[in-house]
Amino acid sequence: MKPLPAELIGAIQTRIADPIRRHDDLGGAEGETLTDPSAVFARLEGGNPELGPTPFRDCVDQLHAWGHPMPPMHFTSYPDGSLGASSTKESTLPLAQPATPAEIVRLETLIGRSLPADLRSLYAIADGGWGPGIAFTMGHGRGIQSLRTVRETLADLRRRGPGYTGEAQWPANFLPIADRTGPISYDLETGQIVAFNDYYHDDGQTIDQAFTVTHPSLESWLREWVAD
C-alpha cells in the first residue's frame, strides 16, 4: 500500500486543527456545564423523573458513597434532538502528537510484520483521538485508536475471539484501528477497511456474516470522513 496522498493529509490536518470538527459525531453543539447532580438529572430527564437514566443515578450515588463528588457534566445538543452529557469536554482536549517510532516498533513486533505505508502516514498525523470512530484516546478524545490501544485491543481480540465466547478466532490479518458498534479493522493483506458488528446475534448473523468490508482502502475511508 502507498502512503496517503499529501493533499488528503493536508485536508485532514485542516479539519482536525478545529477541536469541534476533530471527532466523528452528529454535528452537536456544546452547551452548558452543570455541577449540581439535581440540575444534571433535571436536564437529562426533561422534567420527567420516570424517564431518568437510572444507571447514571446509580453511578452518582456510588461516587457519593465512596466520598467522590460527581464531576462537572458537559452537555451537547444534537440535530436529531438527542442530548449528550460527558465529564470530558472534548473541545478543550489537545491533538495527540504523532506516533513515536518506538510505538510503531511495538505494534510491528506484535503483528509480526511492518506497518503498511498508508497506516504509517495515518499515525504520522497524530496518534489517535481524531477521525472516524468512537474509541477514546485518553487525554485527546474519540476517533481512531492510539497505537497503544490498538495493541491492547488486538491482544484482547486474539484472546477471546470476535464474539467474546471463543467460538471463533480473530482473523490474523485484521488490525483493529477504530470502533463503532464493534471493531473497525485495517486488513493487512488487502488494505480494506472491515467493520465487525458486535450485535450480530441480535441481527440474526453468524460471526462470518458480522464482518463487512465498508471501504476498499484506508484512503477512501478517510476521504469520506473529511468530506462529511
- Tens-digit pLDDT profile for the chain (228 aa)? 899 999 999 999 999 999 888 987 656 677 788 888 878 877 777 655 555 556 777 888 888 889 888 888 878 777 667 777 777 777 788 999 999 999 999 999 999 999 999 999 999 999 999 999 988 888 888 899 999 999 999 999 999 999 877 789 999 999 999 999 899 999 999 999 999 999 998 889 999 999 999 999 999 999 999 998
Closest by Cα among 33, 28, 25, 147 to 88: 33
The per-residue pLDDT for 196 is: 96
Query: Regarding beta strands 141-143 and 135-137, do their DSSP bridges make them parallel or antiparallel, or are they unpaired?
Result: antiparallel
d(CA 199, CA 139): 29
Global pTM value: 0.81
Task: Count CB atoms within 10 A of the CB of residue 180.
Answer: 16
**Which residues does 214 contact at the CB level (< 8 Å), separation at least 6?**
184, 193, 194, 195, 221
CA 212 to centroid of chain Cα atoms: 18
User: Using an 8 Å Cβ cutoff, are 3 and 121 in contact?
Assistant: yes
The per-residue pLDDT for 23 is: 84
User: Using an 8 Å Cβ cutoff, are 175 and 154 in contact?
Assistant: yes
The per-residue pLDDT for 157 is: 95
The per-residue pLDDT for 26 is: 54
3-state SS, residue 176: strand
d(CA 21, CA 226): 10
The per-residue pLDDT for 90 is: 74
Q: What's the CA angle centered on 59, arms 57 and 60, to 5 degrees?
A: 65
